[in-house]
C-alpha cells in the first residue's frame, strides 16, 4: 500500500507497485505490507528531474518542506524509517529513499550544513535561502500562506537504499 502525497500526479499505480515488488525482492527484511510514499520533489516536472538527478548521484541527501503544507493536507509528518519511492518528472520510479532524520526548524535557522546536504546550486546557505524563498513564494499561496523568516520547515535527511 502506498500514499501519494501529491494526488494531482498522473502516477501509474501498476508501475509503482511493480517497482515496490522489485524493491521487496531485494530487501526481504521489509514486511510486504509496509506503507510507503510515492512522490516527486519540487513543484514542476523539470524541478523534479533536477532534484532526482542530484539524489541519484548522491549530491542531495536532505530536503525540506513547509510544515504548513503538511498541516493543510492533514498528512502525518515523515518519521525516521519512512520509505519513499522517488519519482521523476514523468512520475516514473527512480529509487527508494529512507528517512534518517526529521527536525522542524524555522526557515531562518536552517544552517550551512543542511543547505550543503540539500545539494542544490553552489550548495551555499545563501543559495539555499534564495532558492527556497522563491520556491515557498510559489507554493504557499495555494494554501493561503506567505513565506516568513520564521516559518516552520520539516527538514529531512535521507539515504538511497534501492536503485
The sign of the torsion formed by the CA atoms of 69, 75, 77, 82 equals negative
The per-residue pLDDT for range 33-83, each reduced to its tens digit, is: 999 999 999 999 999 999 999 999 999 999 999 999 999 999 999 999 999
| pLDDT of 92 higher than 60 | yes
Q: What is the domain extent for residue 88?
A: 2-162
Look at residues 55, 118, 113 and name the one whose alpha carbon lies nearest to residue 87: 55
154: pLDDT strictly greater than 60 = yes
User: pLDDT at position 2, please?
Assistant: 39
Q: Give the CATH number for residue 56.
A: 3.10.400.10
Q: What is the mean pLDDT of residues 108-113?
A: 98
Mean pLDDT throughout 104-130?
98
Higher pLDDT, 32 or 114: 114
Give percent above pLDDT 70 in the chain: 93
CA distance 35 to 25: 16
Q: Supply the mean pLDDT for the chain.
A: 93
Per-residue confidence band for 12, with pLDDT thresholds at 50, 70 and 90: confident
- Give the residues across from 159 on adjacent strands: 98
DSSP string for 85-148: EEE-TTS-EEEEEEEEEEEEEEGGG--HHHHHHHT-TT--HHHHHHHHHHHHHHHGGGGT----
pLDDT at 6 over 50: no
Q: How many domains does the chain have?
A: 1
Separation of alpha carbons 55 and 67, rounded Å: 22
The pLDDT assigned to 11 comes to 67
pTM reported for the whole predicted model? 0.91
Closest CA to 58 of 132, 159, 163: 159
Amino acid at each position: 500500500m502506498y500514499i501519494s502525497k501529491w494526488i494531482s500526479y498522473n502516477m501509474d499505480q501498476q508501475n509503482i507497485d511493480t517497482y515496490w515488488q522489485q524493491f521487496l525482492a531485494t530487501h526481504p527484511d521489509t514486511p510486504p505490507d509496509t506503507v510507503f510514499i510515492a512522490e516527486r520533489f519540487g513543484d514542476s516536472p523539470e524541478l523534479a528531474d533536477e532534484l532526482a538527478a542530484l539524489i541519484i548521484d548522491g549530491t542531495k541527501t536532505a530536503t525540506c518542506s513547509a510544515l504548513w503544507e503538511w498541516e493543510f493536507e492533514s498528512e502525518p509528518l515523515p518519521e525516521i524509517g519512512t520509505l519513499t519511492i522517488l519519482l521523476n518528472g514523468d512520475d516514473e520510479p527512480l529509487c527508494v529513499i529512507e528517512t534518517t532524520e526529521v527536525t522542524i526548524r524555522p526557515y531562518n535557522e536552517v544552517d550551512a550544513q543542511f543547505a550543503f546536504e540539500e545539494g542544490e546550486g553552489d550548495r551555499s546557505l545563501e543559495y539555499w535561502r534564495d532558492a527556497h524563498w522563491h520556491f515557498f513564494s510559489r507554493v504557499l499561496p495555494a494554501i493561503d500562506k506567505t513565506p516568513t523568516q520564521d516559518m516552520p520547515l520539516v527538514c529531512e535527511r535521507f539515504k538511497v537504499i534501492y536503485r
